[in-house]
Chain A
Amino acid sequence: MNSEKLESLSLEALYALAEKMGLDLPVGLERLFVVEEILDALVEDSEDRRAARDEAVHVDEKKYSGSELDELDAAIDDLPPLEARYNETMIRALVRDPSWAFAYWDLSDAERAALTGVDSESPLFLRVVELNPEGDETKHEHFDIPVSIDDLQWYINLPHSAMRFRIDLCSRKNGSAGSRLRVLARSNTVVSPRQELQPGPDVLDSSAARPLQLARIGYLRIQRSEPDNPLRITPPGMEFQPGEAS
């Protein structure tokens, strides 16, 4: 690590950097010790990453062999972020994996002004609407996630995989006639990926079992579709072995 670069920073900047890295340093430490703590943490962080799981993308990073300033610059160089808003009321959903989706949204200035100060509690919430898997817009189930007026994005834990859903950005206004719900924006419809085999007729007979095993189906922790199996993620050692299933 580049101690020269660190030593060129003011003590205040070093403390700010340490805080950003999650280091809890006692107040009043001498510069030398602050630099040492930061360097140690950077080395440790780098080793942690090296020891992380072996996936293709880790190797992919090797082609970007930069300088030792990379990590440091990333921490120090706090560019002003892009304007996060486009003054429109909208919401978009993106699927990350079978268990998580991501939504980002915005409110126009006018909408925001109308909602601010409506209530002591935030009037906003996300309604995650599970849709009919057959493709029409019939609602199946839904659940709500309260969000604050300042939130602009959220990661949503999905109750199950292969779920077709959309997310509504909603407000609730309490009045004399009771609570009034308004859908401010409706997201695109998305489907979370499935995690279970979709065997067609005769696919899992004995002649297909071995090729599937050799394709490392166990290693990928993919399981056979079982309507009564509540687990979405198979625990290690419990993977479905084609040909062994009853």
Chain B
Amino acid sequence: MANGQLALVLNAHQPFVRHPEYPRFLEERWFFEALSETYLPLLRLFRRLEADSVPFRLTLTLSPTLLSMLGDALLGERYLSYLDNQQRLAASEESRLGSDSVFAPVVRVYSELYRQDRDDFDTLYSRDVLGAFDYFYKKGRIELITSGATHAFLPMYVDCPEAVSAQIETAIVAHRRAFGKHPSGFWLPQLGWHPALADALRAYNVQYTIVTTRSALLGSPTPRRGSFAPVQCPNGLTVFVRDAEATKAVWSESEGYPADAVYRDFYRDIGFDLPLDYLGPFLEEKDARIYTGFKYWAVTGQTADKLPYDPAAAAARAKEHAAHFLAARVAAAQETSALMDRPPLMVCPYDAELFGHWWFEGTLWLESLFRQAVGGALDVVTLGEYQRTQPRSQVSLPEFSSWGDGGYAEVWLDGSNDWIYRHTFKAAERMTELAERFPDESGLRERILNQAAREVLLAMCSDWSLLMRAGRASAFARRQVEDAVANFGKIYDMLCSNTVGTEWLTRLEKRNNIFPALNYRIFRKKR
């Protein structure tokens, strides 16, 4: 009999980046890299496990912006161009290093990766990656849940209930449109929870969400099962609690598994090592170095003298780490189960892009974990399965918290990004004003109101404030917020002066084509 239960939860998310007005756009690579290194490898992992009859269970968030990009024809076309480029670079690298006994096997790893990605994306799935996830969803192997429409950091907006509801409702509509089912769970962007969100989520029939350990332990009253069981808000919303130990084992950049010396080093990339003359034909701009994805060195340690990457040794270590992870969870379950009235549950939520993209061996670790868990002391479950078998939990209302630095809102509210709230709040307020003034519009005016709502949602994206604070692509991030706010402002002015620039609107609709089913009335006042 199992001593406990383990729920792995991955949050797959990309901010909406799509620029048809340019022939190529550097930041679209974020999505292409995640497809190549995380989403398609995850689907291969599912296929292998299914073929071997391994009863895996995974809760997976596909964020609404990611849903939109995965279903977008233009980005699909551009992804194939990206794969062309990666395969050309792989071929060039095989020529350059073909006789090198150390690096040639590493190059072949990448050649094989991009070949499989192309086969899967273009041939096996006919570019319908969502359909591939839906297959495993329908079979009950994975449970797909949703997240904030544009990954807004919701605790900041609890005093603007129209904006919070718009984020939730748009997400649910996008999920239902993609998969034909109402999502049971809702991933809080950045695990940003605030007590006021409980009612907002229940209003849309969300059954459960996940919070940090801090949120739960500081809840009222303190949950007596710690993080080993969910709590239930007074309104019935089930709130699962992140397992802090399991999180650290994987997330920590210095002590977590990905920091192991034999794993592939993320930072050392031929894009920064080889001469520009050679790399030029494979770069977005021939004189601007970028991460190419071709990385030949192992983490090694805190040294610039890296050792060559050995894929076989790294794969073996991933299996060891999966065993170690399971053993640690089993030990915690054994110790806790005697003190509890139900099998302890350990909820392990991570960003999906950690697996494969950053931690190259992460998908191998995941696969190994599922295989090793079969018949062991832990039942691997989805959150929905758990909730159905344990519908009642201790009543407690978790406290405001997030998974960012410091545990609260420091990442999304500091000197680098605090300026955005003046604009996003104003845009949301004005959107509510418009929705109240024009509740029954159709035709062109409805189109423009829907676009206005899209722009408000896009401006609220928390990824941009995160990047501004991190100093990574911060000029680009700032521009995304400014563009969305400016687009909204222009629409607001048009509606106030009763003039609509049809040509401009059509161009904007084509560019920011996210959430085609969006209805601007979601911003109407909550009464």
Contact = CB atoms under 8 A, between A and B. Distances in A.
Contacts of B227: 211, 214-216
B414 to A, nearest CB: 8
B251 interface: yes
B336 A214 contact: yes
B30 A64 contact: yes
B179 interface: no
A229 to B, nearest CB: 16
A56 B335 CA distance: 27
B26 interface: yes
B221 A55 contact: no
Contact of B472 (A70, A84, A188): A70
B475 A74 contact: yes
Nearest to A72: B475
A94 B404 contact: no
Interface string A183-223: 00000101001111111101110011011111111011010
B406 interface: yes
A194 B222 CA distance: 12
Contacts of A4: 287
A56 B351 contact: yes
A193 B401 contact: yes
A149 to B, nearest CB: 17
A12 interface: no
B433 interface: no
A82 B222 contact: no
Given A60-B466, A68-B289, A70-B474, A102 B418 contact: yes
A84 B206 CA distance: 37
A204 B223 CA distance: 9
Interface string A1-21: 010110000000000000000
A177 B155 CA distance: 45
Interface residues of A, number: 71
B466 A61 contact: yes
B357 interface: yes
Contacts of A54: 248, 251-256
A68 B473 CA distance: 9
Interface in B259-296: 266, 272, 284-285, 287-291
Interface stretch (B42-50, B212-220, B377-385): B212-220
B130 interface: no
A67 B284 CA distance: 10
A104 interface: yes
Most interface-central of A45, A60, A98, A197 (chain B CB within 10 A): A60
A46 B474 CA distance: 14
Given A61-B467, A70-B472, A79-B482, A197 B217 contact: yes
A157 to B, nearest CB: 14
Contacts of A68: 272, 288-290
B88 interface: no
B264 to A, nearest CB: 13
Interface string B228-242: 100000000000010
Nearest to B244: A216
B399 A193 contact: yes
Most interface-central of B220, B422, B476 (chain A CB within 10 A): B422
B175 to A, nearest CB: 21
Contact of B405 (A45, A55, A77, A82): A55
A74 B474 contact: yes
B399 A56 contact: no
B482 A82 contact: yes
B288 A67 contact: yes
Nearest to B14: A63
B316 to A, nearest CB: 23
A123 B384 CA distance: 57
A60 B351 contact: yes
Contact of A220 (B214, B473, B486): B214
Given A64-B473, A210-B335, A96 B354 contact: no
Interface string A106-128: 10000000000000000000000
B291 A56 contact: no
A190 B27 CA distance: 37
B358 A59 contact: yes
B386 interface: no
B247 interface: yes
Contacts of A204: 222
B336 A63 contact: no
A65 B358 CA distance: 10
Given A49-B470, A82-B482, A82-B486, A197 B418 contact: no
Given A70-B474, A82-B486, A216-B213, A65 B30 contact: yes
A153 interface: yes
B156 A94 contact: yes
Interface in A26-79: 45, 49-50, 52-71, 73-74, 77, 79
B200 interface: no
Nearest to A224: B222
B410 A222 contact: no
B409 A61 contact: no
A235 interface: no
B290 A53 contact: no
B466 A57 contact: yes
Given A74-B475, A79-B482, A220-B244, A203 B222 contact: yes
A50 B410 CA distance: 18
A73 B217 CA distance: 42
Contact of B410 (A94, A97, A207): A97
Nearest to B405: A55
Most interface-central of A96, A104, A197, A200 (chain B CB within 10 A): A96
Interface in B394-416: 399-401, 403-411, 413-414
A143 interface: no
Given A59-B354, A203-B221, A65 B411 contact: no
A104 B222 contact: no
A198 B426 contact: no
B251 A59 contact: yes
Contacts of B248: 54
Nearest to B243: A215
Contact of B470 (A61, A67, A222): A61
A63 B256 contact: no
Nearest to B159: A188
Contact of A63 (B221, B224, B244, B357): B357
B473 A96 contact: no
A212 B405 CA distance: 22
B71 interface: no
A62 B358 contact: yes
A4 to B, nearest CB: 6
Contacts of A152: 422
Most interface-central of A45, A59, A194 (chain B CB within 10 A): A59
B34 interface: yes
Closest 3 CB pairs of A and B: A200-B221, A215-B226, A211-B226
10 contacts: A49-B471, A54-B252, A69-B288, A98-B408, A106-B422, A193-B399, A198-B222, A202-B224, A210-B335, A214-B226
